[in-house]
Amino acid sequence: MTTQSAVWAPPAEVSREECLADSRAVLAMPDIPLKEYEDLVRIEAVGLEWDIGAQIYEPEDPAKIVVGADGKKAGAYLLSGGDGDFKTMAPVARLLAGKFGFKVATMTYPGRLCLDDPSRNWPGDTINPDGTIRTPIWLTDEHITPDQYEVVKDSSLRERYGTRTVLHAKPGTTFWHRLAGWPAAFEEGGRQVMARNLPDGEYSEPLAKPTE
């Protein structure tokens, strides 16, 4: 007679005290020296070129990258969300790499990375004093000019958001084509960032793969 091994399942509830204890235990783990660097990838999607930025976090010593039960290295691919960039995910990335030995790639959504500044910090505010608006930068040295859009004050959801300042791209402009194409660039950029930094065969496969 054979017995089936128990399958792990998450607890139904985790108390605040348990969360705090686990947090202290992780923070008390030895720090793994890290290196951080940018991987800027030029891709092509929907007939346009795009620059996709990813910030990489990994142990300085490659031997410190953790290896899973399958004998392959462990990595993580993180996204910050639509209105931020890689800096939003930096604390999580540094925790995974600096405490557990993961290699982490944090990708910024197409257009959300300030390609004009090596620091990747956006200057000023989103609405400029002259009434022009900060626009995404999808390709190095390419800028969306004010003649490519109309500024619209949207109060349709005022109770929830107030009056929002939005841009309507003019048909046929670079802005128009970029807005239509960036989701495809996002998908292709993610594929290439993972292929370059967490290659199949060397790193464990994800639990769920994207469909073709």
Whether 38 is covered by a domain: the verdict is yes
Integer CA distances (angstroms), 87 to 23, 119, 181, 183, 192, in order: 22, 11, 24, 21, 20
pLDDT in tens, 32-82: 999 999 999 999 999 999 999 999 999 999 999 999 889 999 999 999 876
Whether 21 is covered by a domain: the verdict is no
pLDDT in tens, 179-189: 999 999 999 99
Q: What is the pTM of this model?
A: 0.85
Mean pLDDT calculated for residue range 107-130: 93
Q: Are 134 and 167 in contact (CB under 8 A)?
A: no
Whether 39 is covered by a domain: the verdict is yes
Question: What residue numbers bound the domain in which 45 lies?
Answer: 29-114+181-197
Whether the pLDDT of residue 138 is over 90: the answer is yes
Whether 15 is covered by a domain: the verdict is no
Whether 209 is covered by a domain: the verdict is no
Whether 141 is covered by a domain: the verdict is no
Whether the pLDDT of residue 210 is over 50: the answer is no
Whether the pLDDT of residue 1 is over 80: the answer is no
Check residue 206 and give its pLDDT. Answer: 65
Check residue 6 and give its pLDDT. Answer: 75
In the chain, count H helices and then E strands: 4, 6
Whether 24 is covered by a domain: the verdict is no
Say how many domains are in the chain.
1
Whether 160 is covered by a domain: the verdict is no
Check residue 131 and give its pLDDT. Answer: 84
